[in-house]
Amino acid sequence: MMLRLRVPLAKQFLTKGGPSLSPSLFKAVSRSVTTNVHTHTVKTPVGLDAAIQTLKPKTTRLSTEGPTECPLDGFALLNSPFFNKGSAFTDEEREAFKLVGLLPTQVNTLEEQVDRAYAQFKIRVDDLAKNSFMDSMRLQNKVLYFALVKKHIKEMLPIIYTPTIGDAIEDYSHRFRKPEGCFLDITSPETIEERLASFGTEKDIDVAVITDGSAILGIGEWSIAGILITIGKGSIITVAGGIDPTRVLCIGIDAGTNNKAQLNDELYMGNKFPRVEGKQYYDFLDKVVKAFKKRFPSSVLHFEDFETTAARKLLESYRDKLPCFNDDIQGTGCVVVAALKAALKATNRKMDDSKILVYGAGSAGMGIATQIASNLRTDGFTDEEIHSKLYLMDRYGLITESTEATPSQKVYAKQDKDWQGIDKTNLVEVVEKIKPTVLIGCSTRPKAFTEQVVKTMYKYNPDPIIFPLSNPTRLHEAVPEDLMKWTNNKALIATGSPFAPVNGIAISENNNCFAFPGIVLGSVLSRSLKISDEMISAAVEQLSILSPKIRDPKGGLLPDITEINEVSAKVATAVVLESLNSGLARVESEHRPNGQYVNVPRDYEACLAWVKSQMWQPIYRPYVKVEHIPHIHTHQY
């Protein structure tokens, strides 16, 4: 960098009150001076490990190996969650980065820090307090945060994500401490590119999670407070999918709010006007997506918790233009189909003989139905065959041609003539008529799967597949204990919330975390042009064959959440290979850091090893001190 200054020195002496000068001295200092300020960068490895690792050639595109370059020191370093190691800074690092006297004497290991943090976590009085503690840790030390979550994943997941994050979102404006993420304001569309530019260039971001807060979990519209759902999702993408947290961008769109509690809250931090809809809203979203693609052309855009109509429109409009994904539409359905396929494999059945009744045709139910249909289509079933297998039922009953329904629901509407004399609102009669092999609940109607409904299904199917998925637990259509009792322990069950084993048989939670981290990782690593149906189907198939139920009758239909890293790596491998085989991958046309090209193994096991080598791990890496040293040169004339 160079800064040039031209200053008549005499001006410094001729100001009022300045010193008097002799004529000869005045003549000398009145000459002009040109000052050139150059800076050059010095990088110094701190410690032996950093020196050794600096000499090794970098082989991965992601920042998963080698020392970390650190341009900060002193309090600025301690206040950076991306660089701060807290009490784990070594003596050499403390001296090099001006931390002497700023930390207690003892140098801790990361493991010791995790144990201390976990003890602090455990004494919090309730889940929201634990969520607040974890937020605070994430804002102080990213490595420690993710190391703690990873070690206690089963306990931590409900705290940092659903269901506790819903309570945190409702209280966002009152709990606000420090901003995280990128905020886009619908009243300032001209600033979209500028706001995104604050987070770097195409080389800096791998995935962005974006929401407008219009349909958060089961709590409705919370507008800008929805930024927390993107932060929760981003955290899972890191801890499960191995994406470096510095390369995950969380984006919140503020389009106003229809939430009266927020409009009447003087502390609410978003726009206090009714939510913008229609053309202005969609024009703004279009500008956002186009600006994102322009700024981060190879990055994955993950749509999260948009209202159903907007969610579908976004996915349909942009899925062929950039790698994008909607977890509510694709992720939930992906895990459901994987659990369904696992159940069929475990009982030696095929999809050809299946009849599937989705009870609840809202956003979740339609997402599941759409993903089932997409997977069947990929497996070679015709649209006519798919239509004959899928049945939808909403609060007004089975969807038929005369039902007032959305276009996406109408696709699965049955002929009215086939349902004459049958009460389409009565689940028992509908089950008696269809004789489904699979019953999926997304209705939020508690206890809708009654003993009579289940026994009617069981009468025709000795191994009924039943998924009561509504959340929270109090809204489940049935509980596993009853389902097992009514089917003589023959039901194959996946639920929307965690449940204890029943009669020694594991009950799997239909958790989206088994799908989206691996799909995102596979898309990022392959640098795929888009996320195709075939890539998602590859993820479904891979997840289904990991089912413990296939090998153990008492196992669950899905893996245990403690295996989430291994599951994500294997799902990502399947996605990478499909992207390569279909010609969508760009990874092999990109340069490595050493100037060569990447060659991704086509063998599954070799590709899996390559994927794992790219995954970020929460460990402290040695630092290289980066200094920008100025040099000043002056010339008089």
* The two structure tokens encoding residue 103: 């930390």
Q: What is the greatest pairwise CA distance in the chain? A: 116
* Alpha-carbon gap, residue 335 to 546, rounded angstroms: 12
* Alpha-carbon gap, residue 549 to 556, rounded angstroms: 5
Task: State the residue for tokens 């300020």.
Answer: 37
Q: Contact, 106 vs 86, CB < 8 A?
A: no
Distances (CA, A) of 371 to 323, 339, 376, 520, 537: 18, 13, 8, 17, 9
Q: Contact, 253 vs 266, CB < 8 A?
A: no
Residues comprising the chain, all counted: 637
List CB contacts of 581: < 8 A, sequence separation 6 or more.
Answer: none
* Alpha-carbon gap, residue 231 to 215, rounded angstroms: 16
Backbone dihedral angles phi then psi of residue 532, each to the nearest 5 degrees: -85, 165
The binding site for (S)-malate consists of 471, 511
* The two structure tokens encoding residue 324: 């994008």
* Alpha-carbon gap, residue 547 to 339, rounded angstroms: 8
- Active-site annotation, residues: 161, 233
Measure the N-to-C terminal CA separation of the chain; round to a whole number of Å.
24
* Alpha-carbon gap, residue 508 to 495, rounded angstroms: 6
- 3-state SS class at 35: strand
- Select from 337, 342, 374, 338 the least CA-distant residue to 356: 337
* Beta-bridge partner residues of 69: 624
**Order of strands, edge to edge, in the sheet holding 32-45?**
2-8, 32-45, 623-636, 68-70
